[in-house]
Structure 1
Amino acid sequence: MVVVEDSHPQSSANTGHVPLETDRDPNGLIHTIAVVGSIILVVITFPISIFLCFKIVQEYERAVIFRLGRLRSGGPRGPGLFFILPCIDDYTNVDLRTVSFDVPPQEVMSKDSVTLHVDAVVYYRVNSPQMAINNVSNYR
């Protein structure tokens, strides 16, 4: 007879964890009703709605999808073909290429009172499309 002991006391059934309201159903009843209604709408208007449901994202882009204002799990979609539900899904394309733009010429006064003309170029690239959309109001 082999006896196996649990070395992690927190993993036992008597941890005292009380389920919160968010643990039960993170989406809610309204979310489920809206998704089912949107699916019914797609089925009823099938030939026309097929052009609204499938979206294509290029190799250098990613799509961040929101369903009823909440970020969909699974991260950004792309590249390629993906499916959205009309009326409840909203998506934003994020360009992953390096973007450059010119800063207008500036005049700067140095310590020894010499006027300098400074011209600049700014380069940026998005590494995380989800963070760019959610954490910055206008990342561009």
Structure 2
Amino acid sequence: MSFLTLEKRSKLSLTEIKEETLTEKIFRILAVMMIIIFPLALLGCFRVVKQYKRAVILRFGRVRSDSPAGPGIIWVVPCTDNVLLIDLRTQSFNLPPQEILTKDSVTVTVDAVVYFHVLKPLSCLLNVQSYKRATELITISALRNILGQYTLSELLTSRESISRTARKEIDRVTNEWGVEMERVEIKDVILPFELQKAMAAEAEGTRLAKAKIIEAEGEIKAAENLKEASRIMMENPQVMLLRYLQTLNFIASQQSTSIFFPFPLEIPEPYGSSSH
């Protein structure tokens, strides 16, 4: 009886050794999952940054030492690194129509377009909340102040110099945000309808005055030329005959008419010569 009891106990102990506990099952499942997920997680550690972008990497909220990173492949740690991509290409936006009071107290509406690009990715991310919105607002304020220093005629005729002045003024502020201004172009200056009518009437009066002056100058020159021609004809009466024939030729070429003139024609003699 004792031998059989010992054999039964040994069998029971072997069975207990072969059985797997719940903790062991959980760890085994986790190990299998890690083996399957690890390659995929490893692929997620690599990011591709395009040529025209830069990556600012924040690790636990702090800027990583290699920021801005790129272009090319960069290494990030999942769950700890946050990647923010900054576009370095030229960007543009249209300013909403702005009513400007010029130096000579004329109200006009100005449309403009702005071109800029990011020069320092870290500055545009850390020094300002939204560099695009901030650039638009500072451009509106600076442009209104600058245009108010010019008269209406200067505003219409000196757009290029005004654009350069506005770009330099805005650039002094946006440099702190890592943004560089490229161009500030004034597209259109819209005048009030009543002012357009007044300017059109003024321009028409100016053109009429210039036309009368030019006509008067032409009359003076014509009179001087006639005076000179009469003097030449007095000295050479034969010129009158040539002029007479030239006039007949001109009349005959204009319309089909018959012209009768005496022949032979007497050739005029010089003034003061004795007749024979």
Category of TM-score, reference length = shorter chain? 0.5 to 0.7
The verdict on how the C-alpha distance between 1:131 and 1:44 changes in structure 2, with shifts beyond 3 A counting, is: farther
Letter in 2 for 1:110: T
Letter in 2 for 1:72: R
Identity fraction in percent: 49
Higher strand proportion (structure 1 or 2): 1
Q: Which SS does the other structure have where 1:131 is aligned? A: helix
- CA displacement at 1:46 relative to structure 2: 1.5
TM-score where L is the length of structure 1: 0.64
Partner of 2:52: 60
Please state if 1:76 is matched with 2:93: no
Which segment is superposed worse, 80-89 or 103-112?
A: 103-112
Cα deviations by residue, 1:28-61 (Å, 9 ceiling, x for unpaired) = xxxxxxxxxxxxxx98831221342111111000
Q: How many residues align?
A: 99
Partner of 1:87: 79
Cα deviations by residue, 1:85-104 (Å, 9 ceiling, x for unpaired) = 11000010000111111001
Cα deviations by residue, 1:14-36 (Å, 9 ceiling, x for unpaired) = xxxxxxxxxxxxxxxxxxxxxxx
Larger C-alpha radius of gyration, 1 or 2?
2
- CA displacement at 1:109 relative to structure 2: 2.1
Distance in 1 separating the partners of 2:49 and 2:69: 8
Question: Which consecutive unaligned segments of at least 5 residues does structure 2 have?
Answer: 1-33, 133-276
TM-score where L is the length of structure 2: 0.34
The verdict on how the C-alpha distance between 1:77 and 1:44 changes in structure 2, with shifts beyond 3 A counting, is: farther
Q: Of the two structures, which has the highest relative contact order with CA contacts closer than 8 Å and spacing of 6 or more?
A: 1
The verdict on how the C-alpha distance between 1:121 and 1:43 changes in structure 2, with shifts beyond 3 A counting, is: farther
The verdict on how the C-alpha distance between 1:54 and 1:43 changes in structure 2, with shifts beyond 3 A counting, is: farther
Question: Which consecutive unaligned segments of at least 5 residues does structure 1 have?
Answer: 1-41
Distance in 2 separating the partners of 1:132 and 1:125: 11
